[in-house]
A and B are shown apart, each in its own frame.
Chain A
Amino acid sequence: MNKPTPANQTQAQAHLPVARPDDKERAVIIRTRNLRKSYRMGQVVTEALRGIDVELYRGEFICVMGPSGSGKSTFFNMVGGLDSPTSGRVFIDEVDVAQLSAVELAFLRCRKIGYIFQTYNLVQYLTALENVTVPMAFAGVSGDEARQRGLALLDLVGLKERWFHKPIEMSGGQQQRTAIARSMSNNPAILLCDEPTGNLDLRTGSEIHQILKRLNKERGVTIICATHDHRLISMADRIMWIRDGQVERIVNRSEVTVETGSIEGQENE
C-alpha cells in the first residue's frame, strides 16, 4: 500500500514554506505522510491528493483554504477518518488510520473527532438534547449521565432552554450551535469544521466563531476548519492553503493580513 516515495517528490515538498506555530513544544496530533488519494471515475483516474505531508499540533486552530476541486474536501475526509488514502499514511493521535478496521474507525470517529458540517446535519426527528446525546449513546453513555452532559453542552452553546426543540423549530445559528454541542459530546481532541458558517449570516456566524474560539482556548480542542470566512481566518493560529492536491503553503496567522473582500498570504521570504 505504501509506495516508496519518489526522491524528487520529497525534494519538492522539502522547500515548501511551512510555518511552525510559535510554541515549538506542542505535540503533533495529526500527521500525514505523503498522503495520496485518487478516484477512479470510469476510465479516468483523478488524483485528488498528490502527496501531502503536514503536521497539525494539539490545541491549535488551523484554517484550511483552497478553491473548490483543490482536494480540500478529500484532505478533510482523510484527517477525519472518513476515508482511507490510496497511499501514504494518516496518523491521528499517533494512530495509523489505514490500519483500522471499520469498527475501530467508528470508535475513532465517535470519541476522537467531532464533526461540524456546513448543513448542520442534525437528525431531523430528534430534539436538540437527543441529537447531542446520540454520539454518547454510541460511546456507551446513556440515561441520566448522558442527559446531564447533554444539557451542560447545550448550556455551553447557549441553548439550554431550547433542549426540547427539534431542528425545524430552530434557526440556522441555533442548529449549528446544537451541532457544535453534539460534536463535543464525547470530548473529542479534534473538531473538524467544514465551512461551519457557510450557510449563516454575519451575525449568527460570529456567534459560532466565538463558540469555536472558546472551545479552542478553554478546552484545548484542536480545530481544523475549512472556511472562506475572514473573521474565522483571523482567529486561526495557522492557515493552510491547498491547491491541486498539494499543500501550497502554511503560514502563521501573524504573517498574513486579513482584509475585507480578499485575503492573500504575504509572500514568503
Chain B
Amino acid sequence: MKTIEVKDQVRLPLSRCVELVLSGVKFRLFRASITVTIISLAGAFLMTILGEGLIARRVAGDIESHIAPRRALSFWVTRISVPMSSPQLVRELAKTQAGDDRWREFAAWGHLSDAQLSQLAGVARRQVIYEAYFEDLGEGQRRPLVGRIQGEQIFASLQDPARLSAFKDVLRTMSRQLPTPVAELETFLRDWQAAGELNLAILEGNARAVEGVRKTYTKDFDPQLILAESDDSLPKTLGTMGFSLPARDLPVVREQAQLSLDAKRLAGLLSEPVSETAAAAEKNAGSTKEPTDDSSAAGARQTTKVLVKNLLARRLDVDIAAVTVPMFYQEVKSSAGSAWLVEQIGKGRLGGLTDNRIRQVAQYALDQSKLETVEVSVSQVAEGGGFMGLNPRTLALIAVSFFVCIVGIANAMLMSVTERFREIATMKCLGATDGFIMINFILESIMQGIAGGIIGVILGFLLGTLRAWSSYGWMALANYPAANLAQAAVVALVVGVIISAMAAVYPAYVAARLAPMEAMRIE
C-alpha cells in the first residue's frame, strides 16, 4: 500500500489570505458593514468615555491649581473674621495631624497639650464616621433610631442611658448596622462627653482670637483688606492671637486678596460717573432728546456726567438694564476694552488699576464663576482611579457593551458562515485545510475590526471632545491631553480588534469543521 508523502499541506502565505479575504469582504460589503458598525459603536463608546475622562482629569488638575489659591484666601478671610462653629471644629480636628498649622492653632486656643489634642482628634475622627452613618440612613430608618435630631445632637441625646438602651433595641432590628460594634459606640459616647469641654475651650479661644483681630484692625474692619495690605509681619501679628498662617502662604493669600479687591473695585467702576466726550454727548442728546433747551449754551459747554454703565451699554449696543458685571469683565478683558475704560475714566481716578491690571483682574473675576461651575461637573467625572482612570461602574458598563458587541459580531459572522457553506465546502474540496478556513474567517473579522476600530476611535474622539467641551468649555481645549488621548485611541483600537477576533473564533470553528461534502448538496 502506498502512503501519501505529505508533512503538511502547503500553507498559504498571509498576504495571499489577506488578498482573498479582502476581495471576499468587498463582495459582501453589506454584511461586512454590519460588523464594522458594531465594532465602531463599541470603539466610539470606549473612546468617548476614555477621552472625556482624560480631558476631565486634566481639567480637574488645572482647576485645582487655579482654585487652591482662591480657597486659601477664602479660608483666611473666614478664619480671621468669623468664629468657628462646633461642627466645623470637629471636621478640622478629624483632619488635623500632630504638629500641623491647625494643630498648633487648636493647642494655642484651648491651652492643650499634644496628648489632649490627639485624644480630641481621635474622638473627632470617630464622630465623623458615626455622623456619616446616621446621615446615610434613610429617613425611615433614622426616625425610629434617633428621632428627628441630627448631627452631634444625636450623641448628646444618647448620653441618656434610657435612650441608649432604646437605641440599641432598635438597632438590633435593623439590616444596616453601625460601622463599628455597639460597644465601641458606647466608648465613643463617653469620650465624646469628655471631649466636649476641651472642644468648648478651643472654640472660646478661637472666638477670643477673632475678637482680637477685630480689635487690632479697628479701622474699617475688612478681612480681605487686612490680607491685601498685609506685610510680612502679619503672620507674627496673627500668631500672637493663636492663628497659624505660615509665612510661605502669605504671598499667595495676599495676591489673591488684592485681586479680589481689585475685582470688586473694577465692578464698582461700572457705576462711576464720567464726563462724556463731545461726540458721545451729542449722540446721547440726539438719541435721548432730553429737554435741555433752557440751559442751552451753558449746557452745551458743561460736560454731562454719565455712568460708565451707560457708556458700556452704548458700546455693546444693549439696554442699560441688561448690562451685567460679567459683561463688563468680558469687555475690559481685551486690550481694546481696557484701553477704552482707561480713556473713559482717566488714569488719575483709576488708582492703581493700569491697563494690564484691569485685564488681569477681569480675567480673574471671570475665571472665578467659571471655575465654580466647572469644578462640580469635573469632580464627578474625574474621580475614581482603577483601569485607565475608569471607576468600576463605568468599567462594568463597558464590559457589558463589549459582551453585547461580541455576541452581535459572532451572530453576524455565523450568518456569514451559513451563507457561505457551499463556498467553504468547495474550498475544502480544492485542498483548503481546516486551519486555512479558520484563519480566513478570523482574518476577515480582524480586518473588519480594524476598519470599525478606526471609525469608532475617530467618532469617539470627536464625541468625547465635544462632550468635554460642552461641560468645561475653554478649559477642555486649553488642557488637551493629546498624548494620553493618542494612547487611549490605541487602546480602543486594539480592544476593537481583539473583540472582533474573539467574536470570530466560534464562527470560524464552525466553518472549519464543515464537511467538504456539503459542496455537493443542492438546495
On whether the two chains bind one another, the answer is yes
Residues of A within 8 A of B (CB): 73, 76-77, 80, 82-83, 91, 93-96, 99-100, 102-104, 106-111, 115, 117-119, 121, 123-126, 130, 134-135, 137-140, 142, 182, 186, 194
**A-facing residues in B480-523 (Cβ within 8 Å):** 515-517, 519-520, 522
Q: B417-431: contact bitstring with A at CB < 8 Å (1 yes, 0 no)?
A: 000001101111111
Q: A76-B520, A82-B515, A138-B9 are in contact. Are A107 and B1 (CB under 8 A)?
A: no
> Whole-angstrom distance between the alpha carbons of A223 and B8 in the complex?
27
Across-interface contacts of B28 in A (CB, < 8 A): 125
Can you list 7 A-B pairs with a CB-CB distance of less than 8 A? A80-B429, A106-B432, A119-B522, A130-B23, A135-B431, A137-B12, A186-B431
CB <8 Å contact, B433 and A108: no
> Whole-angstrom distance between the alpha carbons of A79 and B431 in the complex?
15
CB <8 Å contact, A102 and B434: yes
Q: Given B4, B20, B433, B519, which contacts A117 in the complex, CB threshold below 8 Å?
A: B519
> Whole-angstrom distance between the alpha carbons of A73 and B520 in the complex?
8
Q: Given B1, B4, B433, which contacts A102 in the complex, CB threshold below 8 Å?
A: B433
CB <8 Å contact, A107 and B2: no
Closest A residue to B22 by CB, please name it: A125
CB <8 Å contact, A121 and B519: yes
CB distance from A93 to the nearest CB of B (A): 7
Closest CB pairs A-B (n = 8): A110-B431, A125-B27, A138-B431, A140-B10, A94-B2, A82-B517, A121-B426, A107-B6
Given A100-B4, A134-B430, 7 more pairs with CB closer than 8 A: A76-B520, A91-B1, A95-B3, A126-B23, A138-B430, A142-B16, A182-B430
CB <8 Å contact, A82 and B516: yes
> Whole-angstrom distance between the alpha carbons of A115 and B429 in the complex?
7
CB <8 Å contact, A109 and B520: no
**A-facing residues in B11-39 (Cβ within 8 Å):** 12, 16, 20, 23-24, 26-28
> Whole-angstrom distance between the alpha carbons of A103 and B431 in the complex?
9
> Whole-angstrom distance between the alpha carbons of A223 and B387 in the complex?
65
CB <8 Å contact, A104 and B4: yes
Q: A91-B1, A103-B8 are in contact. Are A109 and B427 (CB under 8 A)?
A: no
Closest A residue to B25 by CB, please name it: A125
Across-interface contacts of B422 in A (CB, < 8 A): 119, 121
Q: Given B26, B425, B433, B520, which contacts A103 in the complex, CB threshold below 8 Å?
A: B433
CB <8 Å contact, A125 and B24: yes
Q: A121-B422, A124-B423 are in contact. Are A83 and B517 (CB under 8 A)?
A: yes
Q: Given B9, B24, B522, which contacts A110 in the complex, CB threshold below 8 Å?
A: B9
CB <8 Å contact, B430 and A135: yes
CB <8 Å contact, A115 and B430: yes
Across-interface contacts of A135 in B (CB, < 8 A): 430-431
The winner among A102, A107, A115, A118 for most chain B CB atoms within 10 A is A107
CB distance from A42 to the nearest CB of B (A): 19
CB distance from A199 to the nearest CB of B (A): 9
In this complex, the interface size class of chain B, counting residues with CB under 8 Å from chain A, is 35 or more
> Whole-angstrom distance between the alpha carbons of A95 and B8 in the complex?
17
CB <8 Å contact, B430 and A109: yes
Residues of B within 8 A of A (CB): 1-4, 6, 8-10, 12, 16, 20, 23-24, 26-28, 422-423, 425-434, 436, 515-517, 519-520, 522
Across-interface contacts of A115 in B (CB, < 8 A): 426, 429-430, 519
> Whole-angstrom distance between the alpha carbons of A83 and B521 in the complex?
14
Q: A96-B1, A109-B516 are in contact. Are A134 and B427 (CB under 8 A)?
A: yes
> Whole-angstrom distance between the alpha carbons of A23 and B52 in the complex?
83
CB distance from A269 to the nearest CB of B (A): 35
Q: A82-B515, A83-B515, A119-B422 are in contact. Are A106 and B433 (CB under 8 A)?
A: yes
The winner among B3, B6, B20, B429 for most chain A CB atoms within 10 A is B429
Q: A119-B522, A123-B423, A139-B10 are in contact. Are A111 and B431 (CB under 8 A)?
A: yes
Across-interface contacts of B16 in A (CB, < 8 A): 137, 142
> Whole-angstrom distance between the alpha carbons of A142 and B4 in the complex?
22
> Whole-angstrom distance between the alpha carbons of A99 and B1 in the complex?
11
CB distance from B3 to the nearest CB of A (A): 7
Closest A residue to B10 by CB, please name it: A140
> Whole-angstrom distance between the alpha carbons of A123 and B6 in the complex?
27
Across-interface contacts of A125 in B (CB, < 8 A): 23-24, 26-28
> Whole-angstrom distance between the alpha carbons of A121 and B23 in the complex?
17
> Whole-angstrom distance between the alpha carbons of A102 and B430 in the complex?
13
> Whole-angstrom distance between the alpha carbons of A130 and B425 in the complex?
17
> Whole-angstrom distance between the alpha carbons of A115 and B428 in the complex?
11
Closest A residue to B430 by CB, please name it: A135
> Whole-angstrom distance between the alpha carbons of A137 and B440 in the complex?
14
Q: Given A76, A95, A117, which contacts B2 in the complex, CB threshold below 8 Å?
A: A95
> Whole-angstrom distance between the alpha carbons of A80 and B433 in the complex?
16
Across-interface contacts of B24 in A (CB, < 8 A): 125
Q: A109-B430, A123-B426 are in contact. Are A77 and B517 (CB under 8 A)?
A: yes
Q: Given A95, A106, A186, A194, which contacts B520 in the complex, CB threshold below 8 Å?
A: A194
The winner among A94, A115, A121 for most chain B CB atoms within 10 A is A121
